[in-house]
Amino acid sequence: MREFFILNFLCRVCEEFDVDVTFDPKPVKGDWNGSGCHTNFSFESTRNDGGYDVIMEAMDLLDKRHAAHITVYGTENELRLTGNHETASIDKFSYGVASRGASARIPTKTVLDKKGYFEDRRPSANCDSYLVGAMLCDTTILKVKHGDEIVQAYNTFMKQ
């Protein structure tokens, strides 16, 4: 709800000043990284002792469902995820410690503490953050391997 209020407020302020707002991942074409909606993600077991091992397991699970995630991570995301300019390639999942060019970035503090969070850098600025969260939960907490109910629901909605 808070997110909707902020976006609505932003649009209203822009309207008041006769300024256009866009959430396109690449609102201005060219040789630059575009606009993402990097998502910091953790759950109880990643924040507790042994959390780093849980994060490593999550990286493996995210790799296996990369294509399904990309499906709901925003339209025209291929314009942004080129593998250049601190972005990963849309075609392949990658992760790294403090890496701004990976699909998922693991903060240095998470490695040092051996617990914490990771950042999914794949979602675009025009993603539905609720779908991003649902996919992350499905894949990393529920460990859904092949069920793509979220993707199917998204595709059905987009066709309407």
pTM of the model: 0.85
pLDDT at 2 over 70: no
SS3 106: strand
Total domains, the chain: 1
Residue with token string 């849980």:
54
DSSP 141: I
For 148-158, how does the pLDDT look when each residue is reduced to its tens digit (9 = 90+)?
A: 788 887 778 77
Name residue 39's beta-bridge partners. 120
Classify residue 81: in a domain, yes or no: yes
Two structure tokens written together for 108: 């240095």
Q: Residue 63: its pLDDT value, please?
A: 97
Residue 46: give its domain's CATH number: 3.30.590.10
pLDDT tens sequence across 105-140: 999 999 999 999 999 999 999 999 999 999 999 999
Query: Domain limits at 84?
Result: 36-159
Distance between CA 127 and CA 7 in Å, rounded?
Answer: 13
Q: Is residue 26 part of a domain?
A: no
* Structure confidence by residue, pLDDT tens digits, 52-82: 999 999 999 999 999 999 999 999 999 999 9
